[in-house]
């Protein structure tokens, strides 16, 4: 079923202005929202109309940090892999995402960037691929976590330009350690190119983070993980993210990477408009427990086989949404911006994504009252529908 030139009635619609009960949402043939209103909203008689039966209608969730899922991975550098990622995550509430790389040999990174750029132009069958998140290789070895030690590099303007061009200028977000040699210059250069720069896998001091912010740093990667911790004598990157208003903090809300009480602390200190929810999902997300390449997954926890570090997550965005509500005690409407408006703002697509408003893309989810995904709609087209027997 397609929502092109169609209408939903009798939905509980979540908009920036408030919740519309028994609401109506109209989508045009270009997959754009044209009107939202109550049951009194006039609908053209020849418009295809669907009864939402009281389901929740919310903006689609945007994930700016995905490495893979359901056996598919970004670093494979293949269209089928990226399309598989888009389908898997669409079934779990994601309507758009950034393909996220890892620290690897430079040629492999370039191949992944080139394929992602081609895939953006070609399009995928699930969640929309909006661009690329380059995570590494310009990180601090001390805070590398599961990133490859042997492939960590120092940045140069020449090399950054090569990667930017390899991506067809589709890099929207980059994770680096600003304190390493060349880091501050890299921040300035990337900001000039319109890339959002994030501090991650970094051992920066509080003062080094402040300097990076002056250079244009605006984001932190999977906050509290892979960074210098908060200490009462040295706040580190973790403390800087909490205190500096210029920084938006990513968060993996699985209860594994960050304790539920600290999830609540982050929301209380930063506010939902400065928390960017992510999955950091890797290839084995969605698969059974077991050994996969260099990692082991047990009960949804993913570690390097030597047990030295967490290695991404098996989280989905819809589970992260349920967790965030449970961990914080906030209602859906209060945490929702961290999954929608904030990520869209951080990568510069908030003019067309991130909220249900006339003129924006019809990226939306139909959820039941337990926040299970009943349908996922991307650009007015239904890309996932829950099987009838589920």
Rounded to whole angstroms, how far apart are CA atoms 308 and 292? 16
Question: Burial of 350 by CB count in 10 Å (0-12 exposed, 13-18 middle, 19+ buried)?
Answer: middle
Cα(184)–Cα(384) distance, rounded to whole angstroms?
A: 43
Q: What is the DSSP string of 234-281?
A: --HHHHHHHH-TT-EEEEE-SSSSS-HHHHHHHHHHH-GGGEEEE--B
Residue 146 annotated as part of some ligand binding site: yes
To the question of whether residue 233 is assigned a binding role by annotation, the answer is: yes
Q: Is 257 annotated as a binding residue?
A: yes
Q: Is 112 labelled as part of a ligand binding site?
A: no
Was 222 annotated as part of a binding site?
yes
Q: Is 226 annotated as a binding residue?
A: yes
The reply to whether 280 belongs to the active site is yes
Query: Binding site annotation covers 311?
Result: yes
Provide the pairing of β-strand 248-252 with 219-220. Answer: parallel
Q: Which residue has the tokens 């042997």?
A: 150
CA distance 362 to 146: 37
Angle subtended at Cα 310 by Cα 242 and Cα 289, rounded to the nearest 5 degrees: 135
Angle subtended by helix axes 183-192 and 206-215, to nearest 10 = 30
225 annotated to bind ligand: yes
Q: Of 63, 83, 254, 280, which is the active-site residue? A: 280
Question: Partners of 296 in the beta sheet?
Answer: 291, 303
Active site residues: 280
Residue list for the binding site for Zn(2+) = 135, 201, 222
Binding positions: 135, 146, 201, 222, 225-226, 233, 257, 310-312
Binding residue positions for substrate: 146, 225-226, 233, 257, 310-312
């Amino acid at each position: 079923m397609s929502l092109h030139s169609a209408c939903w009635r009798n939905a509980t619609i979540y908009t920036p202005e408030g919740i519309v009960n028994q609401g109506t949402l109209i989508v045009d043939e270009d997959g754009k929202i044209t009107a939202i209103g109550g049951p009194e909203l006039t609908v053209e008689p020849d418009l295809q109309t669907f009864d939402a039966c009281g389901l929740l209608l919310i903006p689609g969730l945007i994930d700016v940090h995905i490495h893979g899922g359901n056996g598919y991975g970004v670093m494979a550098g293949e269209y089928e892999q990226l399309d598989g990622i888009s389908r898997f995550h669409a079934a779990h509430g994601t309507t758009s995402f950034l393909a996220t790389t890892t620290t690897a040999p430079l040629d492999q990174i370039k191949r992944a960037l080139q394929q992602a750029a081609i895939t953006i132009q070609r399009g995928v069958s699930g969640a929309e691929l909006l661009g690329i998140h380059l995570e590494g290789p310009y990180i601090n070895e001390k805070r590398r976590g599961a990133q490859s030690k042997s492939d960590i590099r120092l940045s140069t303007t020449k090399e950054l330009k090569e990667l930017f061009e390899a991506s067809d200028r589709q890099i929207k977000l980059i994770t680096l350690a600003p304190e390493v040699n060349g880091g501050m210059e890299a921040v300035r250069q990337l900001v000039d190119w319109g890339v959002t720069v994030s501090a991650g896998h970094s051992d920066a001091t509080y003062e080094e983070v402040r300097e990076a912010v002056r250079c244009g740093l605006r984001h932190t990667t999977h906050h509290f993980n892979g960074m210098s911790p908060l200490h009462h004598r040295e706040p580190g990157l973790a403390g800087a993210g909490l205190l500096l208003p210029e920084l938006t903090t990513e968060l993996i809300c699985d209860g594994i990477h960050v304790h539920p009480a600290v999830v609540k602390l982050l929301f209380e200190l930063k506010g939902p408009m400065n928390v960017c929810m992510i999955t950091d999902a890797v290839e084995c997300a969605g698969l059974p427990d077991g050994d996969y390449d260099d990692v082991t997954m047990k009960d949804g926890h993913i570690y390097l086989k030597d047990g030295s570090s967490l290695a991404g997550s098996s989280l989905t965005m819809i589970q992260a949404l349920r967790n965030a509500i449970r961990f914080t005690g906030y209602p859906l409407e209060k945490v929702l911006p961290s999954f929608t408006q904030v990520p869209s703002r951080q990568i510069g697509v908030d003019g067309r994504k991130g909220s249900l408003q006339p003129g924006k893309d019809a990226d939306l989810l139909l959820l039941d009252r337990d926040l299970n995904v009943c349908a996922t709609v991307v650009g007015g087209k239904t890309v996932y529908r829950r099987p009838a027997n589920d």
